[in-house]
Amino acid sequence: MAAVAGFFSPLSLRRSRVPDHALISPSSATRHSFLPSRFHFSPKKNIYCASPDVADSLESATLKPNLDDDYVPMPIVIIDQDSDIDSTIVKLSFGDRLGALLDTMKALKDLGLDVAKGTVTTEGSVTQTKFHITQQNTGRKVEEPDMLERIRLTIINNLLKYHPESSEQLVMGEVFGVKAPRKKLDVDIATHIQVKNDGPHRSLLSIETADRPGLLLEIIKIMSDININVESAVIDTEGLIAKDKFHVSYRGAALNSSLSEVLSNCLRYYLRRPETDEDSY
């Protein structure tokens, strides 16, 4: 895996459990003392702000009620390596349970990561969380593909722990022993690959395919095997589908049409083949 990780440019690559009673509500928002000092709640905008410089406080809030108890929002996890040169940005869009947020922060810390700052915006039953993450040992953004995949799986696992109702909308529900998706995507139908130039020195690779554990590592390995350099990435898990974008180059230049076709064909072959083929001899 060290060889695979080396294809990420360090400058430009930019994807104790809280008890149930700790869920935030208009009546309990000011009573709980489990919030870390880096959190602050703004009741006017329904935004939590996470920052080491913010004082320990939690003001009362009025969250919009869930108008439809049967509505299950689409779980979305995005790992953005493009937007901030100093940190990895993780975005999570789903439910409104504060315990899941705090437990996610602890899980990331257990991976050797620091949450430098973050915001949480709540609208009705949907919460959008944004973390700026750095490595504890270096203070820099996460660059290793295997760690990015661990971050993704850790967040999805934590989401499923607090929101098991979302398991049928995520292929990881079955992986983590929760309820499997009602309908599994046909990989042939779900896979779409596009390569286009994004200036003279790099190309933009867009991949849409059925999600599965280890998908990011598999994609990076395929590109490294044909000597394509990955400069940056945005890893997007939207329900059962992974929608990833990579800025790539070959020997400091954008991919020509022949190499783009080779890359697309290689990705289609490996992404579409049955999982049983991987262990065949």
Task: Report residue 177's pLDDT band, with 50, 70 and 90 as the boundaries.
Answer: confident
The rounded percent of the chain whose pLDDT value lies above 90 is 41
Q: How large is the greatest C-alpha to C-alpha distance in the chain, in angstroms?
A: 63
- The more confidently predicted of residues 87 and 64 is 87
Which has the minimum average pLDDT: 64-68, 97-101, 149-153, 159-163?
A: 64-68
The rounded percent of the chain whose pLDDT value lies above 70 is 70
Does pTM surpass 0.85?
A: no
Q: Which domains does the chain have, with CATH numbers?
A: 2-169 (no CATH), 187-274 (3.30.70.260)
pLDDT for the residue numbered 129: 86
Average pLDDT over residues 179-199: 85
Average pLDDT over residues 59-82: 64
pLDDT for the residue numbered 189: 78
